[in-house]
Structure 1
Amino acid sequence: MKTLHKILAISVLATAASSVMAADETIVTNDGVAEFSFFKPGSVRAEVGTTGYGGAISWSANPYVGVTLGYNGGDISWSDDLSINGSEYDLDMENNLTYLNAEIRPWANWFYMAAGVGYIDNDYDIQRRVGASEGFTVNGTDFVAGTGGANISGQLSYKNNLAPYVGIGFSPSITNRWGVFGEIGAYYNGNPQANLTATGTAVTTQPGVDFISAVEQEERDIENDNKYEWLPVAKLGVSFRF
């Protein structure tokens, strides 16, 4: 898999480099020799969003079709909590995403549609602490924490997955070379691997259910609930054309 990513990266970068060299055309006018930039196919950009921060390099075959290779990573997150079956967990996110997208501009303007694939290796550390005698819910069951409180900790992981992507975006120019962009979309990644551990004590009035078994059931629900199959994307950034 790592070899495939290297081949994709080298081929896209080589194509972009060769196109940049041909971007400026020298022509002869009535006033003499001039250099005319008829099309700037190459660009680089910096971006930040729900999948972390990073950058990308793009190459456009023409004003309608382009390709972008990028990477997002880091522990940035736009929310400090995660809701699972109505339970609120503290969230610590570690992103690791490499992507390759084709971008289609149907009207050759600032609007584009993106489709591609991402290699996703994201980790989400989650934790939920409940104080003594506090009420809380796990997997739809109401509990009251014991004298020492209760704790649920664990990890959600999207590991080593090639995930298809669709999105839409806008990339208006500010100057001849500088621009801004924004994009929203989603990766279809399948359910994450889940691992939750319950510590402490908690009681419920519901017969046949205990704290540990409820947490184990919540773990299974995460791994089988369709709503966790999609990884949403929203990002903004700046671009430079050359």
Structure 2
Amino acid sequence: MTPPSIKVTCSNCNLRELCMPVGLSEQQLQRIDDIVATRRKVKRGATLFRNGEAFTSLYAIRTGFFKTCVATEDGRDQVTGFQMAGEIIGLDGIVNDHHTCDAVALEDAEVCVMPFDGLEEISREVTALQTHVHKVMSREIVREHGVMLLLGSMRAEERLAAFILNLVQRLHARGFSSSELVLRMTREEIGSYLGLKLETVSRTFSKFVEEGMVEVKQRHVRILDTAALQRLVNSQHESNK
């Protein structure tokens, strides 16, 4: 059964600045509105798209949080990323016309469906949109490189510090606090993403608490010493020089 769709307009969306280029004329916005005509609700634990599924659309996340993951050869789920409101998901499908991962909602979420054919057509006319889509893709590539650096050489503390700082920075860009966040993912999912065992993630969180860097109450994390977390991450960059 197809999930219910609701008519929506980009022109009055409060996330417009994050997922659409600024400076578009009313006429250009109307063209995009005509294409991004539907929203889709995704319940917590449900899948937005699956590995191997035909690629037809990109999705702008309006509310909620997602994880992308792939099944490893031994049947485990390897988390490859976390995406939040204001970010675009589904770029993995562009290369071979099918998705290469599963996208699972970590909480009740809502996305705008952006049919890729229509987007490409408008992009040819509206250069600002084409540039914007390229920037979004570029940002994803840069983020993936960052993750590879994390997994390649960082110690557990450095990985978790970089993860917390990246998450709070992305949330802050969306108007949230620069020092407090609610983790929508489990410790196990964080471990899968960072290449760490569950016990290591828990132990490292405890170490950060003991050293006065963060305060943790279940999924609520409050950063008490941003500079100390940054020093942990920067020490890695210094040692790589």
User: What is the TM-score normalised by the length of structure 1?
Assistant: 0.23
Structure with the higher fraction of residues in helix conformation? 2
Larger radius of gyration: 1
Structure with the higher fraction of residues in strand conformation? 1
